[in-house]
Amino acid sequence: MAQYDVIVIGAGPGGYVAAIRCAQLGLKTACVEGRETLGGTCLNVGCIPSKALLHASHQLHEAEENFAKMGLKGKSPSVDWKQMLSYKDDVIGQNTKGIEFLFKKNKIDWLKGWGSIPEAGKVKVGDEVHEAKNIIIASGSEASSLPGVEVDEKVVVTSTGALELGKIPKKLVVIGAGVIGLELGSVYKRLGAEVTVIEFLDNITPGMDAEVSKTFQRTLKKQGLEFVMGAAVQKVEATKTKAKVTYKLKKDDSEATVEADTVLVATGRRPYVDGLGLEALGVEMTERGQIKTDGHFATSVKGVYAIGDCIVGPMLAHKAEDEGFAAAEIIAGQAGHVNYDVIPSVVYTWPEVAAVGATEEALKQEGRAYKVGKFPFMGNGRAKANFAADGFVKILADKDTDRVLGCHIIGPGAGDLIHEICVAMEFGAAAEDVARTCHAHPTYSEAVREAALACGDGPIHV
């Protein structure tokens, strides 16, 4: 029986970061993972492969739409789907092997197999039981479906199946207008599919700043995505090669059907805790099936912690990483902490959409006095030169103190630009602090400065 200071269950972004940080802090560490490769959903069938396909399909879009405008003339590229999937798989391989290297470098034992906790202080993997002073559950999440919708990962797919389709569908129906559905819908639209998105709510990307959400939907419509809003999917009937989706419109209870070669079910994710033995162990759960933790990631069972998608909070890889980092430090006797007010979110379509902090709707509901500084990318020289002038930067600041409360960006490189505001918020900066910081010209980041200026006397370039 092997003995460890910490055993982490799950090697996704939360788990592997927790394991590495534990090892850095001098704790004898092991990580349990049943996949053939490390990295969890994110690196294997989530964030990383989807970004590879988004990148490849965006290059195709640039070649078809913008190359000729820049004097780059020639035959438009054709799509070799098998080669594109091979490229995607190569990207996955590079990243998962990288985590394996980091485990070896930090002397972390990879316990291969699926883990369970028969009792506090023990983790069972296969037939072997290992002892640990502390256990961190980082088991992640899995795609959730709808009643009446049976997923086969061939015709009716989750994000996992959508990343390895046998061929590019002529018609794709996406159920759910959240991040995953819109990203993968964008990929297949660029590759030539007709894409219809069916959403139960009246707006896309729930929780996003309303102004950004409306602009985002208009932009995606211009790109050719079709939307059916306020529609409840009743059933999906699938054959070996086709599917028929029946939905009911909430406004008048009328039913309609749409046919597709592939249906992507993108209705969210749920915590994956099957087989861990949590009920027998006495671990308290929330009503939504999440593991209940205190402010220090501790569960109701002493010595057992939980982080990432299996606990309360946004299901984001970087949120899990932050929690893994903090949980490791807490176990090591340090003061690990996560600032949940400064966790950015990004949609990796084109244009990208990124946000951090409060939305206008949240501030109004709170009764907070605030001001808005906005700047359109149409006023940014670099964006105009790169055919990327759609969108804007919007900064929300306290009306009296000028402290930055949130930022919402739709435009080029939004997923990178948002971090300037993350750092500003972490240090309690005012919008004026951002506005008085020199930004290189010509860069997209100047739009962030201009939005900060708009919180004061006004921007320069509009």
What amino acid positions are annotated as catalytic residues?
441
Residue 166 neighbours by CB under 8 Å, 6+ apart: 154
Answer yes or no: are the C-beta atoms of 397 and 403 closer than 8 Å.
yes
Pairing state of beta strands 262-265 and 171-175? parallel
| Straight-line distance from the first to the last Cα atom of the chain, in angstroms, rounded to the nearest whole number | 68
Q: Which residues, listed in sequence order, are joined to residue 131 by a DSSP beta bridge?
A: 3, 122
Contacts of 290 (CB under 8 A, 6+ apart): 271, 310, 311, 312
Structure tokens at 174: 């996406």
Other beta carbons less than 10 A from residue 58's beta carbon: 16
Q: Say if residues 19 and 118 touch (Cβ distance below 8 Å).
A: no
* Separation CA 172–CA 189 (nearest Å): 9
What are the beta bridge partners of residue 263? 156, 173
Question: What stretches of 178-230 adopt beta strand conformation (E)?
Answer: 194-199, 226-229
Q: Under a CB-based contact definition with an 8 Å cutoff, are residues 15 and 9 in contact?
A: yes
Q: Alpha-carbon dihedral of residues 305, 286, 311, 5, nearest 10 degrees?
A: 10
Q: What string of DSSP letters covers 101-145? A: HHHHHTT-EEEES-EEEEETTEEEETTEEEEEEEEEE---EEE--
Q: Which two tokens stand for residue 221?
A: 């419509």
CA dihedral 71, 56, 184, 35 (to 10 degrees): -170
